[in-house]
Amino acid sequence: MTVQTGSSGIATSKLGLTDALTRQKLTSAASPALIRLAHEWGLTDAQLADLLGGISVSTVRRWKRTPPEDLGFDGLTRASYLLGIYQALHVILDDVNADAWVRMPNDSPLFNGQSPVDVMTQGGILAMDRVRLHLDAVRGGR
């Protein structure tokens, strides 16, 4: 199997996210989940746009009305991280605290007093990966 690298630098196979049909199927599931996640986390359209790689706010608003056909490799990678973070939080915390956690300043060295959302919007996929690993470690310690 040939391995390619997507725009984010993460390896992907020709049978995975490089296939348009696969991306479209994943997008049809991920898009509404991302909109719900943004609502539950209390994200602004600008924050969601930043988390999705710096797309325009008008694109986020359009997607709320008409879901995109294909989020692309980068968008699906980001969606996977965000939805994994959402799931991990809801395993670790009750629903109210899980949804509030992403907006609360955090003194952990990973966040340095910033909220997880701020860290992820500024740090992109690499920051999402670190947040996901942090939560997986916390979840594993339960």
How far is residue 39's CA from residue 22's CA, in Å, rounded to a whole number? 26
Residue 112 falls inside a structural domain:
yes
In the predicted model, residues of the chain with pLDDT beneath 70 are 1-16, 141-142
Query: Token pair of 116, please?
Result: 């997880």
Alpha-carbon distances, residue 116 vs 55, 78, 108, 128 (angstroms) = 19, 15, 10, 9
Residue 8 falls inside a structural domain:
no
Domain extent at residue 117: 20-140
Residue 15 falls inside a structural domain:
no
Q: State residue 142's pLDDT score.
A: 55
Structural domains counted in the chain = 1
- Considering only CA atoms, which of 27, 38, 76, 41 is closest in space to residue 60? 38
Residue 83 falls inside a structural domain:
yes
What are the tens digits of pLDDT across the range 87-99? 999 999 999 999 9
Check if the beta carbon of residue 125 is closer than 8 Å to that of residue 78: yes
Check if the beta carbon of residue 131 is closer than 8 Å to that of residue 85: yes
Q: State residue 11's pLDDT score.
A: 44
